[in-house]
Amino acid sequence: MGLYDTDIAATDMKGEQFNFSSCRGNILLIVNTASKCGFTPQLKGLQTLHDNLKDEGVLVFGFPCNQFKNQDPAGNEEILGFCQLNYGVSFKMFQKIEVNGPGRHPLYKYLIEENIEEKRKDIEWNFEKFLIDRDGNVIKRYRSMKKPKSIEKDIRSLMV
């Protein structure tokens, strides 16, 4: 069962519930973000992917998380403002969540359990990325060091 066949939802920065079943037919890149991390400049690369591929059904979704060395302690409004002001982020951002532990958001529970390559392994750091195909299947997981530009080839392979 793919993500689009579930009732998993998350709250976006506007405070609205967003159900992932509405993404059917799109390719997703889901990223746990942080504003005060050495990888934070990846927001620019994520925005570039969004700009270049959004018209082809590719959606980038950011999920702020403060579980790694307190690198995103601000409130949701401040986080969104920071991302927009410093990196021009216009891709969809969601309210801060937990990606590990007993408070793990259902989306990340799903992503970790359905990841073919590394089943059930916790998120290790900020800016881990999950690539989801048009049917909602978890295709690949990328560690924090993997730059967004280097993922574009994998995304394009799903567009055919």
Please name every residue paired with 132 in a beta bridge, in sequence order, or none if there are none.
Answer: 28, 138
72 and 96 in contact (C-beta within 8 Å)? yes
Give me the amino acid identity at 37.
C
Q: Which of 23, 37, 65, 83 is catalytic?
A: 37
Q: In sequence order, which residues have a C-beta less than 8 Å from that of residue 97 and are 6 or more positions away?
A: 10, 32, 63, 64, 65, 105, 107, 108
Where do the domains of the chain lie, and which CATH numbers do they carry? 3-157 (3.40.30.10)
Instruction: With CA atoms as reference, report the closest residue to 28 among 90, 79, 92, 76.
Output: 92
Least Cα distance to 125 among 49, 34, 10, 29 occurs for 34
Q: How far apart are CA 102 and CA 19, in angstroms?
A: 22
Q: How far is CA 39 from CA 20, 33, 35, in A?
A: 26, 9, 9
pLDDT, one tens digit per residue, over 60-114 is 999 999 999 999 999 999 999 999 999 999 999 999 999 999 999 999 999 998 8
pLDDT band at 116 (very low <50, low <70, confident <90, very high): low
Percent of the chain at pLDDT above 70?
Answer: 97
Kindly tell me if the per-residue pLDDT of 44 is higher than 90: yes
Helices (H), the chain: 42-53, 76-87, 106-114, 152-157
Query: Quick check: 115 pLDDT over 80?
Result: no
Does residue 118 surpass a pLDDT of 70? no
| CA–CA distances in Å: residue 48 to residues 22, 87, 93, 149, 159 | 23, 10, 15, 8, 17
Distance CA 17, CA 20 (A): 10
- Catalytic residue flag (residue 65): no
Name the pTM for this structure. 0.96
